[in-house]
Amino acid sequence: LCIHDNYRNNPFHNFRHCFCVTQMMYSMISLCSLQKSQYYINIFILQEKFSQIDILILMTAAVCHDLDHPGYNNTYQINARTELAVRYNDISPLENHHCAVAFQIISQPEYNIFSNVDQDQFKQIRQGIITLILATDMARHAEILDSFKEKMENFDYSNEKHMTCLKMILIKCCDISNEVRPMEVAEPWVDCLLEEYFMQSDREKSEGLPVAPFMDRDKVTKPTAQIGFLKFVLIPMFETVTKLFPEVEEMMLQPLWESRDRYEELKQIDDAMKEVSSKYLFDKANGMIK
């Protein structure tokens, strides 16, 4: 309940988004058989992937990753010189704030879910959660994905750096995974995100701040917004994950391909309608239509 109460009622970055990200994290852990296990198959012992503490870090980071999100992104925070931007020196101000709020909650005895772990374990858990939440800053997307691609060549589950990078990729996938879900679930989330974007761009215009074209209600449409995001962000990342976990392709990558194709069809329809409308207005202006 305390986590719930520390999410604001934004159109997109709210507790429902937190719930979806956490549910997707659970799904990816399950689908990819990431929970560390030891069992016997004939004479072979299989022991691999994540420990219980790793799973705890992943799930807690997912729940906490957008705590107290104000509904305006890092670009706005920095350009508007907000308190958060000043406090965190323009370095991932929102993600640093989410971490701080998470551990402010955990520091309260009644909410401290780590009260029974020893000091060394708590340091490991805290650092793990902070690392994952900071990884959700999309400004770091290329850096993190490139690092993961390098490690993919010879991925080693016993290598701590490799495993940390995998956890970062997992929370990134979950954070932006709405298009993996069925269309009737995914599309309303696009509307919510655009509503939040438009609120920000309207405010930026009123305050004389730069406005990103993909957030401007006068320049962006749902199909154009999603096609670029799917083609250049979502699909490449999930394709990379699929190389390590082939089971992801059918359940998660295939829906992304289908979503891309659907939005491209919608864009073609939009373009055709605009062309017809433009021709009609041109003909009417030139007296060809009475």
User: Is residue 41 one of the residues assigned to a domain?
Assistant: no
Look at the chain and report how many structural domains it folds into.
1
The per-residue pLDDT for 272 is: 79
CA distances to 59, 87, 124 from 127, rounded to whole Å, are 14, 20, 5
245 is in an annotated binding site: no
User: Is residue 81 one of the residues assigned to a domain?
Assistant: yes
Residue 166: which CATH number?
A: 1.10.1300.10
126 is in an annotated binding site: no
User: Is residue 274 one of the residues assigned to a domain?
Assistant: yes
The per-residue pLDDT for 94 is: 99
Phi, psi of 246, rounded to the nearest 5 degrees: -60, -25
The per-residue pLDDT for 54 is: 96
**Residue (of 95, 78, 68) closest to 5 by Cα position:** 68
66 is in an annotated binding site: yes
User: Is residue 42 one of the residues assigned to a domain?
Assistant: no
Q: Could you list the residue range(s) of the whole structural domain that residue 276 is in? A: 1-36+47-286
17 is in an annotated binding site: yes
Residues above pLDDT 90, as percent of the chain? 87
- Who's near 159: CB < 8 A, 6+ residues apart? 151
Contact 117, 125 (CB under 8 A): yes
User: Is residue 157 one of the residues assigned to a domain?
Assistant: yes
Residues in the chain predicted with pLDDT less than 50, given as ranges, are 41, 43-47
- Who's near 257: CB < 8 A, 6+ residues apart? 235
**Annotation says 141 is catalytic:** no
Contact 59, 26 (CB under 8 A): yes
User: Is residue 235 one of the residues assigned to a domain?
Assistant: yes
User: Is residue 111 one of the residues assigned to a domain?
Assistant: yes
* Backbone angle region of 287, left / alpha / beta, with phi > 0 → left and psi within -120 to 50 → alpha: left
140 is in an annotated binding site: no
Q: pTM of the full predicted structure?
A: 0.91
**Residue (of 133, 147, 188) closest to 18 by Cα position:** 133
Active-site annotation holder among 4, 13, 97, 98: 13
